Amino acid sequence: MLAGWRCGACFTLAIWATLGLAAVPRERFQESLIIRPLHDGKVSSQFSFLTSVQDATPRNPETLGLEDDSQHYTVFPLALGQILREYAITEMHLTLNAGKWNYDQWGYPNEAGVGTGAELWAWMGDGGLATVDQRWQGLRNALAGLFCASLGSLDEQRTTSPVLTFAPEGLLPNWTRPHQLRHASLPSEHVCTENLTPFLKLLPCKSQSGIASLLNPHQLFDADWHGMGVHVWLDPIEGVKVRLTFQSVFDPVRNSLGGRRDWSFTSIFGRTIEKHCPVAQTSSIQIELPDDKSYTLSPEPTRVDVNIALFDLVNRTEPFEAAMQWLGEATFEYPLNAGDLSHMPLSVRRTLRGSSQARGQLSVVLTNNWPTEMHVIYLETMPWLLQFYLHTLRIYCNGEPCDHLISNISYTPPVPHARPTMFQSVLTVPPKTTIYLTIDVSKSFLRYTEHPPDAQRGWDLPPAVLVPLRVRENQTIDQGTRYPRIYTPILLVDLATPDFSMPYNVIILSCTLITLIFGSVFNLLTRKFVVVQLDGPTKDKNIN
Amino acid sequence: MSSPQWPSSLKDPSKICFESTQTRRLVLGSYWAVVLLALPLWWYTTSIERLSLPSSRVLGLFERDLRFQLHLQLNTEGYKDAAVVARDWQGILDQRTALGGRWEGLDVYVHPKKHGDFSDVFGTYTVNMGPYKSSAQDRQLSLTTANVLTDDSPTTLIDTLSDLLAPYAPSDSHDCVVQYAPRYRLAFTMLNEDAAAGQAVHGWDIQDAIAQHISPHLLRLSVLHNFTIESQVQFHAPLAFKPIPISVDGRAAHGLMPEDLTVFVNSAQWTLSSSVSNDPVLHFILYVPSVTQRPLYILNADGTTSRSTAFLLPQWGGIVLFNPPPPSDLHQHTHLSSHSLMPIMNSFSTQLLALLGVPPLPPAVRCTQSNSSLTDWQLDALLRRRILENVDKSTKTLGSIVQLVDQIENMPVGPDVRGDVQDALIALDKVFVSSRNSTIETLLHSSQALSLASRAFFNPGMLALLYFPAEHKYAVYTPLFASVAVPLLAAVGRELIAWRRSRKQRAESKGGEQDRRERNG
C-alpha cells in the first residue's frame, strides 16, 4: 500500500511536470441572451452561458482506479468538473422545467430540452472498476446534491437507454469499449429558487455582473414557462464545453395595467445590466424583431442581421437596458388564428383515455404541417405503472387503418416494481395529414408503501419525445436530417388508491373476528354443561 | 306418566364423552400447550440480532500502553568522554520522560558511539558533536560543541533534543491540526471580492507554484497521506461583514479586527465545498479585496496594523490577503505569475504544514536535508504522534461501541459490526507488534484500526430498531392478545377452583368416613 502511495505521488508529480511544460488549457467564457417577442404577445428569453476548456478530454473510465489529474480551473465550474471526472461522464444533459411549452404558438424553443419536470441523460464510456449503472447512480446523486433537486429518484425504475432518440450532441471519444446511454425523467419535479441558486453559483460572475445579473428569481418563477439546463459535451475542436441555460416565457400583457405587450428589462426581469462581467469574452444580447414593423426598439442596436438586433456588451461601462414598444397600439389584441404553423413540422396531442382505474387507452394524434412526407422517431418511456398491450397498437389516417406507417418498433416490457417500459418506433406521416395512434394500457396495482404522500393526486407520466426526420430516398433512418426533439405535455394517471387508515382498521377488525371465533370455539370446548332439574312433576301436572 | 326415553347422558351431561372433566382439562391443556410452544417461535421471530462483542478485549486495550523506544547514539569525537555525557543525558532524560506529558509513550536510551554502531537499529538517531553549526539531516543531528565545552549542565542541548524528539507539548492546543485521514483534498481558491469593480486578478500560475512550493512537502508527507489537488478562481466573493476603514501612513485603508477573522469565510456565498468525495478538504484561499476596499490589513487587538497578511483557520485551512499594486489603468487585469506567487505560496506551505501537524525545527537547528525542508526527525515525530492519536481514538471508539451496546438493549449488533470490531482489534494488535520495527507500517495499521472502528460505530444497522419500540407492536395487537388471553386465563382459574373444591370434598368425605370408622371403633 505504501508503494501505492509513493507511486501515486510520483504519478501526480509527473503530471504536474508535463502540465508545467505544456500550454495551460485555455478556458473561455461566453454569455448571451436571446429575446424573442412571440406571436401571442408573450416574450421568450434564453440565457446561455458557455464555458469551454480547450484541449481537455473527458475521463476514460478505464482510469477510474488510478490517481486522477489535478483539476485547475479559472472560469469552468469546479463543482461540476469534479462530478464529471469522478464518474467519467462524456456527455451530460440535465434540464429542470416547469410549465407546458406551447409548440404551436411559440414554435421551437432555443433549447430543445423543454420536457416538464426533470430530465437527465448521459453518455458514458464503459469499462473500468465501476459499471455504467453504478456511475449513473453516482451522477444523479451528485447532481441532486449540487442542484438541490430530487434527481436521486431517477432510479432504475425510470432509467432507459433510448439510443435512437437521444443521439450524442458532441463527439464520443474512441475508447476500447463503446459508449452507453442512460436516460431518465421525473415529470413531477418542480423547478424553483432552490435550484436556481446553485445554478448561479456555477457561473463565474454569479448573478453579480454581466447578463446573469438579470436572473432575478422573483420574476423568473413568475413566468408562464421557465426552465434551466446544464449541458456538457465534447467538442472535437474546442474541447470540453459546458452550457448553462435558462429559458423563460413571460407574459407582459398579463403584467401590464393597460393590457399592452410592451416590454423592457425592468418590466420582465425587474433589473437592468449594471456591470459587465469582466471574464466574459463575448457578451451579446440578441433580440428577434417581429414581422409587423410597428414597434420601436431602444437603444440603437450595435448591428442588425436580417431580423435580429444585436447588442455587444463587452467594453460597455454604463448600465444597459433594452425595451420594445408598440406605440400605436392601445391594448394588445390576441390573434384569433393559431398562428403560422409552418415553422413547426409537427403538431402533437397526447391523451390518456378511459375512466377505469384498471385499464385505459393512450392516444397520440400527429399532424404533419408540411407538404412533404415526414419520418418521426416516437419514444414513450413509461414507469411500470402503465403496461402497453402491443397487439392493440392501431394507426388510423383519413379514417382508415394505416398500420404500415409504423416501423422499427423496439419495445422493452416493464418489470413491475423494477424496470420501466420503453417503446421506440419510427412513424411515417404523409404530407399535410393527421394520423391517430392508439394503444391499450393497463394500470398497475401498487403496494401500500409505493404510494406517494399525496396519493390522491395521481401519478405524473413523462412526456413522449418525437424527433422529426427528413430522410431522402437512399438514406437510412440514422442518416436522415434531424430536427430538434419535440416533447409532448405530461399526463396524469389515476391509479387505484386505498384508504390509508386501512391497515390499522384491518388489523383491528380481523383481531376482533379472530377473537370472536376463538372465544366461541374455546367456550364450546371447555364449558361444563349441566342439566338443571326443574320441578318436573308439578310442571307435568299443570300441562296435563 | 313417564318421561320420554332420553339417553342417560343427556340427563347427566357429565356422562357425555367430551364433557368429562379429564377431556375438558386436556382441551384446556392443549390450548395452553400451543400458546407455550408458540412462545419460543415468537421470541425467535421478534428478537433483535445481538451478537456478543469482544468487550473484555476492548476493555483490555485501555490497560495497554503503546511505547516507542528511541535510541540516541552520541558521537563526541573526542571533545568529551562520550560515556560520561551519555550517562549525564540519560539521567536528565529519564527524569523528563518519567514526568510524561510531551514524552507520553516514549522511552529514550542514550548510547555512546564507541559501544558499537546502532544506526541500523530501528529508532536510532545519531547526535554528532563537533565544530559545526547546529543542523539536522536524515536521522542525524549535528550540535555545536561550544555549549558542550563551556556549559557543564547540558540543559540547552537536551531542550533542543526534546524539541526534536517530542515536539508536541500536551497543553499545546492541538485544535489547529486536522484529524488524521489517509487522503486530503487540497483546494486552492483565488477569490476576487468584486472583479466587476476593476483591477481584479484574472488568473494565476497555480500549477507551477504548487509544483515548486507545495509538491516537495507532499512528496515527503506521502508516507502519511495521499493528496488530491484542485484549484479554482472566483470573481465575486463578497464578505459577510464590512472591514473597518482605517488610515495607514495618511492613506485610506481597511482593516480586519481579530474577531472578524473567525467569521471571514462567507460559506453561504463562496462555493468552496466539494460534494463528490468524503475526504476532508483543506482550503487555501488567496483573497483579493475589491478595488474600493484596498489595501486590506489585518489589525492587532490594539488597532495597529499587523505585518502579517495571512491567517490560519484551525482545522479548516489558511487564508492569505493579497493587495495588488495599483496599476495605471482601472480596468487592467492582473495575472499572477509563479514568481509573484512565491510569498503567497510560502505562506500556504507554512499553513499546510501547521494544519497537518508537522513540528517546526527548534530555532537553533538548521535543516540541511537535500531537496526538502522536512527532516526525518520531524517526520518521525509526526508519525509517532499520528500513531498515538489513531490508537487512542480507535480505542476510545471501540470502548464507546461496547458501552453503547451495553446501555441500549434494543440496539441490534449484526455480524458486520462484530466483524469490524474484531478486525479493528486485530489491526490494533498489529500496531503493538509492528511499533518495534517500523513506524510507517504501524501508522498503516493504526489508520486501518481507526477507520474500522469508526465504520463499526457509524454502522446504520445499529439504528434499525431504535425508533420502532416493541410497545408499538403490542399496542397494535392488544385487541387480539387481550381478548384471547381473558377466556384462557378464566378457564384455567375456573378449572383450578373446581379441582381444589373436588379435592376438598374428597378429603372431607374421606375424613367423614374415617370419623365414622373411629366412632364405630
Q: From first to last of the 521 residues of chain B, give the pLDDT tens digit.
A: 444 566 655 666 666 666 777 888 888 899 999 999 998 998 888 777 888 889 899 999 888 888 888 888 888 776 667 778 788 888 888 888 888 778 888 888 888 876 666 666 777 888 887 777 777 777 778 776 655 555 555 677 788 888 888 888 765 555 788 989 999 999 999 999 998 888 888 889 999 999 999 999 999 899 899 999 999 999 999 999 999 999 888 888 999 998 989 899 998 888 887 767 888 999 999 999 998 888 899 999 888 888 899 999 999 999 999 998 876 655 566 788 888 899 999 999 999 999 998 988 887 777 777 666 788 888 889 999 899 989 999 999 999 999 989 988 778 888 999 999 999 999 999 999 998 888 889 999 999 999 999 999 998 888 765 555 667 777 777 878 888 888 889 889 988 998 899 899 988 887 777 766 766 65
Contact A142, B276 (CB under 8 A): yes
A23: pLDDT strictly greater than 50 = no
For residue A133, name the pLDDT band (cuts at 50, 70, 90).
Answer: very high
Contact B299, B258 (CB under 8 A): yes
HSE on the CB side for A422, CA within 13 Å?
Answer: 19
CATH topology of domain A346-493: Immunoglobulin-like (2.60.40)
pLDDT computed for residue A22 by the predictor: 35
In angstroms, how far is the first alpha carbon of chain A from the final one?
112
For residue A34, name the pLDDT band (cuts at 50, 70, 90).
Answer: very high
Sign, CA dihedral A256-A259-A260-A261, equals: positive
Contact A47, A246 (CB under 8 A): yes
* Rounded Cα distance, A81 and A89, in Å: 10
Give contacts of A151 with chain B, Cβ < 8 Å: none
Q: Which of A9, A71, A74 sits opposite B230 (nearest CB)?
A: A71
Q: Which of A1, A68, A206 sits opposite B236 (nearest CB)?
A: A206
Give contacts of B207 with chain A, Cβ < 8 Å: 16, 19-20, 24, 70, 72
pTM value? 0.84
* Rounded Cα distance, B265 and B237, in Å: 10
Vertex B115, ends B109 and B118: CA angle to 5°?
A: 60
Q: Which of B206, B219, B333 sits opposite A13 (nearest CB)?
A: B219
Burial label, B138 (beta-carbon count in 10 A; 0-12, 13-18, 19+): middle
Interface of A with B in 233-292 (CB under 8 A): 275-279
pLDDT digits (tens, 9 = 90+) for A2-19: 444 444 444 444 444 333
What ipTM, to 2 d.p.? 0.83
- Which is nearest to B74 in space by CA: B103, B105, B108? B108
Rg of the Cα atoms in chain A: 31
Determine whether the interchain pair B271/A504 forms a contact, defined as Cβ–Cβ distance below 8 Å. Answer: no
Interface test with A, best of B27, B271, B472 (most A CBs within 10 A): B271
In terms of DSSP bridges, do strands B334-336 and B201-204 run parallel, antiparallel, or are they unpaired? parallel
Count of other CB atoms within 10 angstroms of residue A314: 14
pLDDT computed for residue B383 by the predictor: 92
Contact B444, A1 (CB under 8 A): yes
Determine whether the interchain pair A74/B203 forms a contact, defined as Cβ–Cβ distance below 8 Å. Answer: yes
DSSP string, A455-519: GGG-EEEPPPEEEEEE--TT--GGGSEEPPPEEPPPEEE------TTHHHHHHHHHHHHHHHHHH
Q: Which of B31, B196, B277 sits opposite A276 (nearest CB)?
A: B196
- Which is nearest to A33 in space by CA: A293, A318, A287? A287
Give contacts of B338 with chain A, Cβ < 8 Å: none
CA-nearest residue to A279 within chain B is B202
Beta-strand (E) ranges in B376-434?
none
From residue A132, alpha-carbon distances to A56, A360, B499 in Å are 22, 35, 76
DSSP string, A28-50: EEEEEEEEEE-TTS-EEEEEEEE
Interface of A with B in 419-448 (CB under 8 A): none
Interface test with A, best of B480, B486, B496, B497 (most A CBs within 10 A): B480
Interface test with B, best of A2, A5, A6 (most B CBs within 10 A): A5
3-state SS track over A309-376:
EEEECCCCCCCECCEEECCCCCCCCCCCCCCCHHHCCEEEEEEEECCCCCEEEEEEEEEECCCCCEEE
pLDDT computed for residue B373 by the predictor: 74
Burial label, A394 (beta-carbon count in 10 A; 0-12, 13-18, 19+): middle
Q: For A23-163, where are the alpha helices, taking DSSP H only?
A: 78-86, 103-106, 132-147
Q: What is the dihedral of CA B342, B343, B348, B349, to 10 degrees?
A: 70
In angstroms, how far is the first alpha carbon of chain B from the final one?
47
Give contacts of B484 with chain A, Cβ < 8 Å: 514-515, 518-519
- Which is nearest to A342 in space by CA: A375, A316, A371, A313? A371
pLDDT digits (tens, 9 = 90+) for A399-458: 899 989 999 899 999 999 999 999 999 999 999 999 999 999 999 998 878 888 888 888
Whether A500 contacts chain B with CB within 8 A: no
HSE on the CB side for A390, CA within 13 Å?
Answer: 13
* Rounded Cα distance, A302 and A312, in Å: 6
Higher-confidence residue: A294 or B231? B231
Count A/B contacts: CB-CB distance under 8 Å.
163
For chain A, the domains span 25-326, 346-493
* Rounded Cα distance, B333 and B291, in Å: 12
Q: Is B445 helix (H, G, I), strand (E, B) or coil?
A: helix
Phi, psi of A175 (to 5 degrees): -90, 175
Residues paired with B254 in a beta bridge: B245, B296
Give contacts of A5 with chain B, Cβ < 8 Å: 222-223, 226
Residue A9's H or E segment, with its range, is: helix A2-21
Q: Which of B3, B24, B476 sits opposite A528 (nearest CB)?
A: B24
Determine whether the interchain pair A70/B229 forms a contact, defined as Cβ–Cβ distance below 8 Å. Answer: yes
pLDDT digits (tens, 9 = 90+) for A391-404: 999 999 988 999 89
pLDDT computed for residue B510 by the predictor: 78
Mean pLDDT of A323-352: 85
Q: Which three cell numbers stand for residue B94?
A: 529519564
From residue A441, alpha-carbon distances to A353, A360, A386, A407, A411 in Å are 10, 5, 6, 20, 14
For residue A163, name the pLDDT band (cuts at 50, 70, 90).
Answer: very high
**Min Cα–Cα distance to chain B from A223, Å:** 26
Whether A316 contacts chain B with CB within 8 A: no
Determine whether the interchain pair B277/A145 forms a contact, defined as Cβ–Cβ distance below 8 Å. Answer: no
Interface test with B, best of A274, A508, A511 (most B CBs within 10 A): A511
- Which is nearest to A119 in space by CA: A89, A100, A140? A140
pLDDT computed for residue A508 by the predictor: 82
In terms of DSSP bridges, do strands A263-264 and A180-186 run parallel, antiparallel, or are they unpaired? unpaired
pLDDT computed for residue B403 by the predictor: 92
Determine whether the interchain pair B484/A515 forms a contact, defined as Cβ–Cβ distance below 8 Å. Answer: yes
Q: Which of A206, A277, A529 sits opposite B19 (nearest CB)?
A: A529
Cα A131 to its chain centre, rounded Å, is 24
Amino acid at B236: H
Amino acid at B282: L
Determine whether the interchain pair A79/B271 forms a contact, defined as Cβ–Cβ distance below 8 Å. Answer: yes
For residue A123, name the pLDDT band (cuts at 50, 70, 90).
Answer: very high
DSSP A10: H
Contact B67, B105 (CB under 8 A): yes
Amino acid at B399: G
Q: Is A274 helix (H, G, I), strand (E, B) or coil?
A: coil
In terms of DSSP bridges, do strands B226-234 and A71-72 run parallel, antiparallel, or are they unpaired? parallel
Vertex A320, ends A314 and A323: CA angle to 5°?
A: 130
Vertex B25, ends B30 and B36: CA angle to 5°?
A: 30
Largest CA distance in chain B: 145
Determine whether the interchain pair A209/B195 forms a contact, defined as Cβ–Cβ distance below 8 Å. Answer: yes
* Rounded Cα distance, A237 and A252, in Å: 41
Q: What is the dihedral of CA B431, B433, B436, B437, to 10 degrees?
A: -90
pLDDT computed for residue B151 by the predictor: 54
Contact A267, A252 (CB under 8 A): yes
pLDDT computed for residue A143 by the predictor: 94
Burial label, A442 (beta-carbon count in 10 A; 0-12, 13-18, 19+): middle
* Rounded Cα distance, A148 and A190, in Å: 11
- Which is nearest to A361 in space by CA: A442, A286, A460? A442
Whether A66 contacts chain B with CB within 8 A: no
